[in-house]
Structure 1
Amino acid sequence: MLLLAFDTATPAVTVALHDTERRLTLAASDRIDARRHGELLLPTIDEVLRAAGVDKHALGAIAVGAGPGPYTGLRVGLATAAALGHALGIPVHGVCTLDGIARAARDAGLQGPFVAATDARRKEVYWARYDGSGQRLDGPRVDRPADIAEEVCGLAAVGAGALLYPEVFAAPAPGLPEYQSAAALAAFAADELAAGRELPEPVPLYLRRPDAEVPKNYKTVLPA
């Protein structure tokens, strides 16, 4: 089966095409631009499909990063996945973005228990804890780094969130991923599906309340 994977939950606009039978990434593209998710995603998908010589109608499924991540970036990827899945009549699977980063770190040679963290802004991080095999043990969660210092103390760390707070997270070894990689996300999703484990629904993991809320205790103005 041909699995199209992409993620826009981090500053990376990342797309990959994966052959689940051969367990092989056929083509991939990663661009780092936090302000152009909506502009770059569809052209990058077209670029990856052309590079692999595959027509979109040959796709068997889609895997999309579900975050955690900021609202604007997440909705680009999830809305695109929903539209493509509907148009092509194929299933759409959600994948925790941190699981993709963790898979990339394991593929890059990271050993032992570790933490994956991305920048949540507002001086917070999205993070999750993994065992030595890359299985998620805790999270995803959003916290201030200082509040979780004891929980992550002594653990290897990977991701842009960890790099932002070296006083809390152990410095990642050279060569480990900073942002999401759709190739790793696709490989993770393919392994989960092959093992008969269901992937989550493609719904966003925001983890905190939106900035915009309906005002409370506002006055109701009635006609005279």
Structure 2
Amino acid sequence: MDSEVQANDIDREDLPTLVIDTSFGSTVGIVGHQAIIESDSRSHVEKLQPNIARATREAGIDPHQIARIIVGTGPAPFTGLRAGIVAAKALAYANGAELIGQNILEVQHQWMKQIHQCDQAASDSANTASLHATLAVNDARRHQLYYALYIGEDELLPMDIDFPEAIVTHVSDCLTAAQTTYGKQIDLDIVGHGAGRYMQEWSRFPQLQSLDQVSHDGADITAQDEAFAVSSIRDESVLDQNPDGIRLFAQTAIMHAKRGQEVSAEPLYLRRPDVSVPKPLKQVTYHEESSSGARNNRTSNAFAEHSGARGTVGKGTVGKDGESR
């Protein structure tokens, strides 16, 4: 099946659906049940298969009953991401199940949209004076982050990888221009694993008044009246919200499939490979060992010629007088 989706089954909500994501640690779960979350990136690959078996057992289904698999496509580092996708593809092939790919950054934005909608409903008022933007990130290691920037249904900055200080520049320029387009102040949420590691870089946003006001659990931040303002910083993932996280992850992927949009299960590494095709070897024009060997051969030949001229012979040869020596 690979990344193809059966159109006849895409609208069925009763299909046993397995979510596998290894973009940060690993998350495995059957939609509608508690997910199994491994945050230790050093062992999550080894636990992947046992956790799939455990998730199906706790959901009360047989692994062969899994009819749909939603697999995280990153962006994430190579090794962990590849393990999750390979496991999903193998299981989809064995079961003849649907396989739908979904990136983690978009779902982070969908999660923040839900939070703001719930907040507005709870306050019984619709705040139309500002828009909410999401800078969705994921830890890329090597002091870098995967990131994308969203407002509503719009992707303002597509998925990429960069150093946090460069991301601040890109986002600031983009949101300053977007404020003119939308005509409203923009409240920015920074969300995802790795967000909390770069508080100093986020402080370069002109609206961030104090690092003491930043919370990993999304507490509001007082901001100046500028084109955009940092509203919250969350060093966590939508998939950490159990069990609602995997449900939203699956719903987002299925929505794309229903619309006929790209649902490929191919990995999003984004980082350039560390290896490259080697350059052709240079042609050797001079080699010390070869030159020395040739010189030795010439010396031996010259010595033999010189010895022959003086009548010196080796063992088993015949001298000038015809006698064997």
TM-score (norm 1): 0.82
Distance in 2 between residues matched to 1:220 and 1:43, nearest whole Å: 54
- Aligned positions, number: 213
In structure 2, runs of 5+ residues without a counterpart are: 1-14, 118-130, 173-186, 203-207, 209-213, 219-233, 240-244, 285-325
Residue identity in the other structure for 2:18: L
Which string of whole-angstrom CA distances, capped at 9 and with x for unpartnered residues, describes residues 117-165 of structure 1?
A: 11112221100112146x5443211011111213334622011232121
Which string of whole-angstrom CA distances, capped at 9 and with x for unpartnered residues, describes residues 62-102 of structure 1?
A: 11111111110111011111111111111211111212333
Larger deviation: 143-152 or 165-174? 165-174
Alignment partner for residue 201 of structure 1, among 244, 254, 264?
264
Structure 1 match to 2:27: 14
Distance in 2 between residues matched to 1:15 and 1:143, nearest whole Å: 28
Greater helix percent: which structure? 2
Residue identity in the other structure for 2:251: A
Structure 2 match to 1:86: 93
Alignment partner for residue 159 of structure 2, among 134, 137, 140?
140
> Do 2:196 and 2:216's aligned partners in 1 also have CA atoms closer than 8 Å?
no
In structure 2, the residue corresponding to 1:216 is in which secondary structure? coil
Structure 1 match to 2:52: 45
Structure 2 match to 1:21: none
Structure 2 match to 1:162: 195
Which string of whole-angstrom CA distances, capped at 9 and with x for unpartnered residues, describes residues 19-64 of structure 1?
A: xxxxxx2331111111123201111111111111011222221111
Alignment partner for residue 170 of structure 2, among 151, 161, 165?
151
Distance in 2 between residues matched to 1:53 and 1:124, nearest whole Å: 41
1:173-192 equivalent positions in 2, closer than 5 A: 174=217, 176=234, 178-179=236-237, 181=239, 183=246, 184-192=248-256
RMSD across aligned positions (CA):
2.6
Distance in 2 between residues matched to 1:6 and 1:64, nearest whole Å: 5
In structure 1, runs of 5+ residues without a counterpart are: 19-24
> Do 1:70 and 1:206's aligned partners in 2 also have CA atoms closer than 8 Å?
yes
Distance in 2 between residues matched to 1:107 and 1:56, nearest whole Å: 32
Larger deviation: 165-174 or 114-123? 165-174
Alignment partner for residue 38 of structure 2, among 12, 31, 54?
31
In structure 1, the residue corresponding to 2:199 is in which secondary structure? coil
Distance in 1 between residues matched to 2:29 and 2:283, nearest whole Å: 52
Residue identity in the other structure for 1:142: I
Identical positions, percent: 34
Distance in 1 between residues matched to 2:112 and 2:144, nearest whole Å: 22
Task: Quickly say closer, same or farther: Cα 1:88–1:102, change in 2 above 3 A.
Answer: same
Alignment partner for residue 126 of structure 1, among 134, 143, 146?
146
Task: Quickly say closer, same or farther: Cα 1:197–1:52, change in 2 above 3 A.
Answer: same
Q: Is the radius of gyration larger for structure 1 or structure 2?
A: 2
Moved segments of 4+, more than 6 Å:
none
